[in-house]
Amino acid sequence: MKYTRLIIGVAAILVTLWVIIGEQMTAASANAVVNAPVATLRSPIAGTLELQAHALGARLSQNELLATVTDTRADTTRLADLQLELETLDAGINRLQAQIAALSRERDTLLQRSETFTKARLAELEAELAEARIRRDLLQRGDAYASAAPGGEATFDESGRPGTPHASALALSHARERVETLQIARDALQQGVFLGDGYNDAPFSEQRRIQLDAQIAELGLARSEASAKTAALERRITRARQTQGLESRSELRAPAADMLYWETLQADAVTVQRGDPLIRVVDCGQSIITLSVTERVFNTLRVGQDASFRFTGQSHVYPATVGRLAGSGARSIYANLAVAPSEKHLERFDVTLLAPDLNADPELGCAIGRTGRAFFDGRPLDLFRHWFN
């Protein structure tokens, strides 16, 4: 029994020494801090800055308004030139429209005159044709009567009076020709073709109306072209107004969700220039863990290697992986990070860990600046830590 207790005591001492030495010898960081990239919002235009009321460190939602920059002296020359060009085109379209309307009224008047002339001319031709037919019929009856008379010597002229046989034949031929000519002119007129002395196929009013139709069509094409130019110019004016609006007033908004209002770089109501830095925000969705280790530990690490992280004073362990091995003197890589390294940190070797579970933890929120330790090897008490977690 005495030896049994002695053996148990020695074993307990050995286990305790193994745990203490194992915990101390495990590759670990001297310090570790939750960090995140910082985005600097710059002024897109020159103007007067108006900041919104945001406390430093405030949680931001996506597209939340942070500040506005207003330029009351924005250049409007280009927009004014485009508007003047549009007004000139509108005046030209109005002039073309007035010309088309005037020519259309004249054309309508000529059309009415042409219709009146056509009706009158048709009535005139019908009257002349009726008279020519009567004269032809009389001559035909006179010729038939002369043929039936004894000796066949009785003849008549165009008026039905007795005449020579030769004159009577000429008169009948002329009468028949006159009837055919009038019939041709009447039939042509009914089809819209005028036959007469002094004109070809249409009277002056009809010819003038045709010319006016051609002028109206040409003016219509010019108006359509001007309307197309107007539509294109209106689109250019719309874009110019949008550009002027962007140049005269610009809004700065949070570019993404899960951001913190980190730093104000300009005072409210001051005049800023284009490109001036105005506000810095922290992107919590891209949180990382920055830490430093000894040279011995650093030389045992590789990118993608498993690791773990634990906040100071807590037992919960977050799985992580090695994301970057920056080594010694890694001051420049912290230029765009929220938490700058200490001088002691820079004397050691810089390491960056990626911990997705840490970013997804709703209870932590955006834990920028919180410290802890990172471990790269298994430790004797890890089993108990998992049980407690």
DSSP per-residue string spanning 365-388: -S-TT-EEEEE-S--TTHHHHHHH
- Identify the bridge partners of residue 374 per DSSP, sorted by sequence position: 309
Distance CA 100, CA 223 (A): 9
pLDDT score at 26: 47
Identify the residue with better confidence: 377 or 201. 377
Q: Is the dihedral of CA 101, 105, 110, 115 positive or negative?
A: positive
Average pLDDT over residues 110-115: 80
Q: How far out from the chain centre does Cα 227 lie?
A: 21
Burial letters 74-83, b for 16+ CB under 10 A, else e: beeeebeebe
SS3 call for 189: helix
Mean pLDDT over the full length of the chain: 81
| Residues in the chain, total | 389
Quick check: pTM over 0.85?
no
Q: Is the pLDDT of residue 267 over 90?
A: yes
pLDDT score at 225: 93
Q: Are 320 and 388 in contact (CB under 8 A)?
A: no
Distance CA 61, CA 90 (A): 47
Average pLDDT over residues 350-356: 94
Average pLDDT over residues 128-135: 85
pLDDT score at 253: 94
SS3 call for 360: coil
SS3 call for 364: coil
Distance CA 54, CA 274 (A): 23
Distance CA 223, CA 39 (A): 54
Q: Which of 14-23, 123-132, 194-203 has the lowest mean pLDDT?
A: 14-23
What is the enclosing helix (H) or strand (E) of 324?
Answer: strand 317-327
Q: Which two tokens stand for residue 47?
A: 């103007």
